Structure 1
Amino acid sequence: MIVTYPFSAVVGLDDLKLALVLNAVSPRVGGVLVRGEKGTAKSTIVRALAAQLPSVDVVPGCRFACDPVAPDPECPDGPHEPGSAAVTRPAALVELPVGASEDRLVGALDVERALTEGVKAFEPGLLAAAHRGVLYVDEVNLLHDHLVDLLLDAAALGTCYVERESVSVRHPARFLLVGTMNPEEGELRPQLLDRFGLTVEVKASRDPAERAEVVRRRLAFDADAESFAARWTAEESALVVRIARARARMPAVRLPDARLRQIATVCAAFEVDGLRADLVTANAAIAHAAWHGRDAVTTEDVRAAARLSLPHRRRRDPFDAPGLDESLLEELLERTSDDDDPDDPPGGGRRDGEPGPADDATEPPAPSANDSAGPPAPSADDGPGPQAAPASEDGAAAGRHEPSDGPDGQPRQAQGSGEPGSGQVAVAGVPYRVPLLEVPGLGEGVAGRRSRSRTPRGRATGARRPGGRVRDLHVVATVLAAAPHQVARGRGGPGLVLRADDLREVVREGREGNLVLFVVDASGSMAARRRMTAVKTAVLSLLLDAYQRRDKVGLVTFRGASAEVALPPTSSVEAGAARLRTLPTGGRTPLAAGLTRAAEVLRVERLRDPARRPLLVLVTDGRATAGGDVDRAADLLRGTASVVVDCESGPVRLGLAVRLASRLGARLVTLDSLTDLGSVVRDYRKAV
């Protein structure tokens, strides 16, 4: 028997616990997106809650977990008579793997049985299995966009619609949706972020005592899971009872007009798009009131709901991080709080954990993360972690000066510019739209929006024999393959006699995402005449383009005596923008080292992700004033789709970037030609 780590034994993570509990009380809240660094118990706590959800009664033999009291009249396994026999089972925990297909998610017709046996056999997907349980998606930001769309549509509607391959099926799909993600691997699109009801940012505590308690409990669980879980039986039982009571109380909880106006005022003041934020906040506030045993929503319920429902909806631009201005929230709540409202305690509510009407002896106590045999663990809020130093807003740090040109026409190096981090830091301007840079030929990579590719979704361009199970039947090609063999197979009726060898699937052409590796010259020559500001603006614009086209990105920089990988290939375009902000310039130009390092990065990435084709974007003026043979280094990159952004300016031009582009077989683009497109994508509130 597999023993799950107890929910009540998880140390800290109070916001995450509350968000999960609110969704357990009311699926209308819309799920939870858990953002956090690796190793922060995201998966552990989700599995722990699923194990504590109340059991459900289902119709025996129904693959869609119909409720015997009120079965779905359109259930594909029905019809079921209301009040029929029931089987009690634990709430399901279904995990959606990152590599799942659309068929696996929503279900599909068994094409081979339909053609060879004449049977319409529908195979339910994971959405059917998760009905009345928990659907857990680890690394949701790595799922294909169309799968995320299907998933969130089903979560919002409570119903899964399957319209494909001559089958039309509708079945209920109401579940607690939990997605986890590491922002380092890339962000979800803002419109997909908005579909998650609540979001929680999870970080490991920096308090040594709390970290020690986490390790102490985990070691105890790993040593004897059953004994450790037995110590938390009382707390876990209380949690199950309290969730069940809150669910029963939900229909009776009132949302007074004063609190509804408060919710609308808060959402409007934070300038969230649409009205989904208002609905989610209202549902979460009702669930919070039910969880605390109240019959009406109070200001405290609105506060708790807004803290969880609004941060991810405040993201205005692709490079913005989710967040919420707590002081503004408090100001809005205080301004709109109605002291005469009989449903509100004096002072406009209370904080969680303070004594209140729900904390009497008739209500099971909420399990505390700090109750254990060991010493109590401090709160996760006991002091902030280390803060990153703010980026300079003025283009250059105090005491740093832009190098001027020397007598030979070459720029003088900044003082100490031979050492990393000793150069000046330029500030990028407002990004603009750039031309489409694509990899030539036809790939077979991950679906995106950059280069031509064979993809599961797109326009049909042909047919082929399937390598395994048929996913997308090409009817005409299948019929044409079977037609010449009908006499030999003894066909005597109007129908075709088909064999498995006759089946053909559609070949579709769409667009793929690529690995865009930026190789940026950060030497002193790039800093001359404030050229680096234009370069950073161009790279930021290209990064924004990569974000919109669903690319992976990497960043190699070279200056001084060597080159470094400032950003290993990742789906987090935001991380690339962050590295760009602090990129210093100065020193000599080791162009060969930069090309060599880029070749090594691409070699390793081809082994890790062979289907994703690379696109090299080299940003340089072509000068090489430090070690290495540039021609030999360029030869390492031959055959790689490349673009050289020529940054040379001024009345006298040496044309070194032109020569380098010819050596690489690359497309040459001038910095001016990028800027001249000039159509601004967004009005950023401040320069990067």
Structure 2
Amino acid sequence: MRPAVQSFPFTAVVGMEDLQLALILSAISPAIGGVLIRGEKGTAKSTAVRALTEILPPVDVVAGCRFSCDPDDPEPTCPDGSHHGERALRPARLVELPVGATEDRVLGSLHLEKALAEGITAYEPGLLAAAHRGLLYVDEVNLLHDHLVDVLLDAAAMGRATVERDGVSVTHPARFVLVGTMNPEEGELRPQLLDRFGLTVDVVASRDPAVRVEVMRARLAYEADPSSFISRYDGAQRELAERIVKARDLLSQVILTDAALRQIAEICASFDVDGMRADLVTARTAVAHAAWSGRTVVEVDDVRAAAKLALPHRRRRNPFDAPGLDDEQLEEAINNSTPPPDPDDDPDGPGGGSPDSGGDEPDGADPAGPDAGSSTDPADGAESDPAGPDASANKRPVPEGEVVGSSEPYKARLLSVQSAGAGVAGRRSRAITDVGRVVGDRPRAGRSGRPHLLATLKAAAPHQHSRGRSGPGLAVRTSDVRLAVREGREGNLVLFCVDASGSMGTKKRMGEVKTAIVSLLLDAYQRRDTVGLVTFAGADATVALPPTGSVETAVRRLESLPTGGRTPLAEGLLQTAEVLRIAAIRDPRRRPLLVLVTDGRATHGDNAFARAKQAAGWLAQQGIATVVVDCEPRRGVRLGLAAELAAAMSAEYLDLGEVAAGNLIRTVTERRAA
């Protein structure tokens, strides 16, 4: 809700003009669909959003209506009745949805106090009801659990929320402006939710020292004396609030001509966006921008500003591509499109077209231009067998100490797998977790967790007579308490044990392995897995990366991994076992998956392979789920040592030719629940 202490003034925010414009346009026209704010940590994303409520006009509501219905247009489905009460004026609301919120808190649930004290079923509204006709703010929206994302998608699409749970059946209005902030380093949004945001803005801290000084000076002054600082901006705040009100009043008078619609359609088509939402959002944003500028006809400047805010997150073809628009490509698309009418021309008439356009249509040139964002799938046409007479550099053994780079990573395929028990909340495998949708209940019996209200009441109801209860309400005892069983997604520890010795062979083979691992690291990072990397070469094994969630560090360590030398396979397995032992102590609920990438040749020390098999057998006794990826060349004499090692580990054996590139992702993911 609106904070008790006034926020940092919106007009005092420095160096964030695009963000301020996007928020203002969404406030002028809520039909735009809200704003997604992407930016690195410490860029005042949340400060700007919370400051917005101070300049929004108040909302006219029906007194006593918990769902903030409009007195002039009450919702027929509102649970609070016929709305014949008095009008009331209240400040605009900013409702914050915490990342760790429960589904009950978001949707609402049975009113506990009335159920226990009076024995009646009553609905207690949640955050979606409070956000109706206001702003719903989700900080770190990319970390929101999937079951809550589904709830938001349903409400955003339908404009209402339906609650069927705990004996409650309610449908209430839930139309809100969705505002989210996120740090792209922590993973991307699901495409469905990403598309629900009308506009997107990338916020980056200025590198201009003068701007940074101004930011520091303003923030320090606010912290030293908030009241005095806020009072200095009272005039600017009032002026901005009045301008927003005027723009709202002017919105219905803005003319979106056929020529402007044609230009918007051509620009969206030139950027190859999916669906029609981009066109609609761009059109609504252009109208709002015209009203904000005090114009009654949409001009080229309005279309340009709208496209910069509405298209960046809709034109991406690869999930790892950073959102954004190329300014030159946008200008080219605008120049090649049909222009809106000149503001000096008469905008009236059915066509509204510009007489200066000359009637020339684009001559069929490819509007998309060169495909700068495309990438070649490393799996396409890749031959995983490095052996053969080819004498190219890619076919020669890797010299000791040489660093082999990976190819461009690709999106890993997500497969849902059945969990074998409780796990850590994440986005990978199905599991019984602390958060998620309720799928059942169980007796408390010394367990900890959140009670399942309806199941508890049902357990207590049959015993009311024997407990002497004759009036309203229920007599509930400790033995009646039932705990909710929730199903969500779990994250895993994916630990790579990579043979970096000279026996791994060629540059091409090591490049394929590195590309697959980098791709899986990106996928695991975005799905809340923990990853780790153990390498072995020469005489030692090295923990190149302890279990972590930092994909940047993982990729850097892998890319800089040198190859060559002898193969201390036993040492690598023992070091891996130690990493898994420590990880189990620190995070016992996160189930591990070991991916051993080797040709099985142990060449360091006496009885090297026998010692390696002994270490492998010990890992098998610990019940570690393992996949052995055999990198031995398929041509020539094959020793089959990796297959023998897999048998000793009770592991799944796969040849690199079967799991190269994209297949490695699929194989690993399918074995998450082993």
Contact 2:595 2:627 in 1 (8 A): yes
Distance 2:224 2:573 in 1: 51
2:70 maps to which residue? 67
Opposite residue 106 of structure 1, the aligned amino acid is L
- The CA deviation at 1:101 is 0.9
Contact 2:498–2:536 under 8 Å retained in 1: no
Distance in 1, matches of 2:40 and 2:568, equals 35
Q: Which residue of structure 1 lines up, in the alignment, with residue 54 of structure 2?
A: 51
Aligned residues of 2:282 and 2:310 also touching (Cα < 8 A): yes
One of 380, 399, 404 as aligned partner of 1:424: 404
Worse-matched range after superposition: 31-40 or 466-475? 466-475
Structure 1 partner of 2:173: 172
Counterpart of 1:122 in structure 2 is 123
Q: CA deviation at 1:587?
A: 3.2
Q: 1:245 to 1:609 in 2, by over 3 A?
A: farther
Query: Structure 2 regions of 5+ residues with no counterpart?
Result: 347-374, 383-391, 667-674
Contact 2:495 2:593 in 1 (8 A): yes
Alignment of 1:249-328 (within 5 A): 249-328=250-329
Matched, 1:558 2:535: yes
Please tell me whether residue 94 in structure 1 is matched to residue 95 in structure 2: yes
Matched, 1:31 2:56: no
1:243 equivalent in structure 2: 244
Structure 2 SS opposite 1:33: strand
Indicate conservation of the 8 Å contact 2:570/2:612, yes or no: yes
- Residues 128-160 of structure 1, C-alpha deviations (whole Å, 9 max, x = no match): 222233221111111112212222332344322
Contact 2:278 2:310 (8 Å CA) reproduced: yes
Q: CA deviation at 1:277?
A: 1.0
C-alpha displacement of 1:295: 0.7
Superposed CA deviations along residues 568-614 of structure 1, whole A, max 9, x for unmatched, are 63386xx5996599455423456577657756765676677654333
1:172-224 CA-to-partner distances (Å, cap 9, x unmatched) read 22333211111111111222211111111111222222222222222222222
1:575-654 correspondence runs (5 A)? 582=559, 585-588=562-565, 611-623=589-601, 638-650=622-634, 651-654=636-639
1:559 and 1:587 in contact (8 A); partners too? no
How far does residue 641 in structure 1 lie from its aligned partner after superposition?
Answer: 3.0
Say whether the 8 Å CA contact 1:566–1:579 is kept in structure 2: no
Q: 2:242 & 2:578 partners in 1: Cα distance?
A: 58
Matched, 1:413 2:403: no
**Gap change, CA 1:655 and 1:469, over 3 Å in 2:** same
Q: Which amino acid aligns with 2:506?
A: A
What RMSD over aligned residues (CA atoms) do the two structures have, in Å?
4.3
Matched, 1:514 2:492: yes
* Cross-structure match for 2:657: 672
The one-letter code of the counterpart of 2:21 is L
> Could you report, residue by residue, the CA deviation over 1:106-147 in whole angstroms, capped at 9, with x for unpaired residues?
111236854774312111111122223322111111111221
Matched, 1:443 2:427: no
The size of the alignment, in residue pairs, is 613
Rounded to whole Å, the distance in 2 between the matches of 1:591 and 1:224 is 64
Alpha-carbon displacement from aligned partner over 1:546-577 (angstroms, at most 9, x marks no partner): 589x45242425366663545963386xx599
Match of 1:158 in 2: 159
Q: Quote how far apart the aligned CAs of 1:302 are.
A: 1.1
Ranges in structure 1 where 5+ consecutive residues have no aligned partner: 346-389, 405-410, 682-688
Q: 1:9 aligns with which of 3, 7, 12?
A: 12
Distance 1:5 1:456, change over 3 A: closer
* 1:60-92 Cα deviation digits (max 9, x unpaired): 33322233444434332332227x242x33222
Q: Which moved more, 1:52-61 or 1:241-250?
A: 52-61
- Is the partner of 2:196 in helix, strand or coil? coil
- Write the distance in 2 (CA, Å) between the matches of 1:107 and 1:435: 32
**Residue 131 of structure 1: SS of its match in structure 2?**
coil
CA contact (8 A) 1:552 1:571 kept: no
> Residue deviations 1:502-550, cap 9 Å, x none?
35456466763423333434444335262123324543665587589x4
Amino acid at match of 2:599: D
Q: Is the partner of 1:320 in helix, strand or coil?
A: coil
Q: Does structure 1 retain, via aligned residues, the 8 Å contact 2:428–2:529?
A: no
The answer to whether 1:464 aligns with 2:443 is yes
Contact 1:425 1:582 in 2 (8 A): yes
Aligned-pair CA distance for 1:43: 1.0
Instruction: Mark the CA change 1:436 to 1:663 in structure 2 (over 3 Å): closer, same or farther.
Output: farther
Distance 1:557 1:469 in 2: 39
Q: Answer whether contact 1:8 1:232 (CA < 8 A) is retained.
A: yes
- Distance change (3 Å), C-alpha of 1:276 and 1:339: closer
Q: Residue 595 of structure 2: SS of its match in structure 1?
A: strand
Pair 1:534 & 2:512 matched? yes
Query: Is 1:569 matched up with 2:554?
Result: no
Question: Contact 2:26 / 2:35 at 8 angstroms: preserved in 1?
Answer: yes
Deviation, structure 1 residue 260:
0.9
When the two structures are superposed, what TM-score results if normalisation uses the length of structure 1? Answer: 0.76
After superposing the two structures, state which structure 1 stretch, 196-205 or 149-158, moved more: 149-158
Decide whether aligned partners of structure 1 residues 252 and 333 sit closer, same or farther in structure 2, where only a CA change above 3 A counts: same
Q: Answer whether contact 2:398 2:507 (CA < 8 A) is retained.
A: no
What one-letter code is carried by the residue in structure 2 that aligns with 1:644?
V
| TM-superposition CA deviations, 1:32-53 (whole Å, max 9, x none) | 1111111111111111112222
The residue aligned with 2:209 is: 208
CA distance in 2 between counterparts of 1:60 and 1:603 reads 61
Q: Does the 8 Å CA contact 2:442/2:485 hold for their aligned counterparts?
A: yes
Taking structure 1 as reference, are residues 438 and 504 closer, same or farther at Cα in structure 2, changes over 3 Å only?
A: closer
Q: Could you tell me whether the CA contact under 8 Å between 1:567 and 1:576 is conserved in 2?
A: no
Give 3-state SS (helix, strand or coil) of 2:506's partner. Answer: helix
Give me the whole-angstrom Cα distance separating, in 1, the residues matched to 2:417 and 2:221: 55
CA 1:680/1:266 → structure 2, altered by over 3 Å: closer, same or farther? farther
Change in 2 beyond 3 A, CA 1:584/1:226: same
Deviation of the 1:8 alpha carbon: 1.8
1:15 is matched by which residue type in structure 2?
D
Q: Does the 8 Å contact 2:263/2:338 carry over to 1?
A: yes
Gap change, CA 1:284 and 1:600, over 3 Å in 2: farther
**Map 1:320-339 → 2, pairs under 5 A:** 320-338=321-339
- Whether the aligned pair in 2 keeps the contact of 1:111 and 1:470 (CA below 8 Å) is no
What do residues 2-42 of structure 1 show as CA deviations (whole Å, max 9, x unaligned)?
34222222221221111111111111111111111111111
Task: Quickly say closer, same or farther: Cα 1:85–1:113, change in 2 above 3 A.
Answer: closer
Q: Could you list the per-position Cα deviations for residues 470-520 of structure 1 after superposition, in whole angstroms to 9, with x for gaps in the alignment?
A: 447459xx757865x577346999x99876643545646676342333343
In structure 2, distance between residues paired with 1:677 and 1:221: 52
Give the letter aligned to residue 8 of structure 1. Answer: T
Distance 1:105 1:603, change over 3 A: farther
What's the TM-score once normalised by structure 2's chain length? 0.78
Distance 1:267 1:260 in 2: 11
Please, which moves more after superposition, 102-111 or 426-435? 426-435
Helix, strand or coil for the counterpart of 1:118? coil
CA contact (8 A) 2:60 2:90 kept: yes
| Cα distance in 2 between the residues matched to 1:672 and 1:34 | 43
Contact 1:401 1:424 in 2 (8 A): no
1:516 and 1:551 in contact (8 A); partners too: no
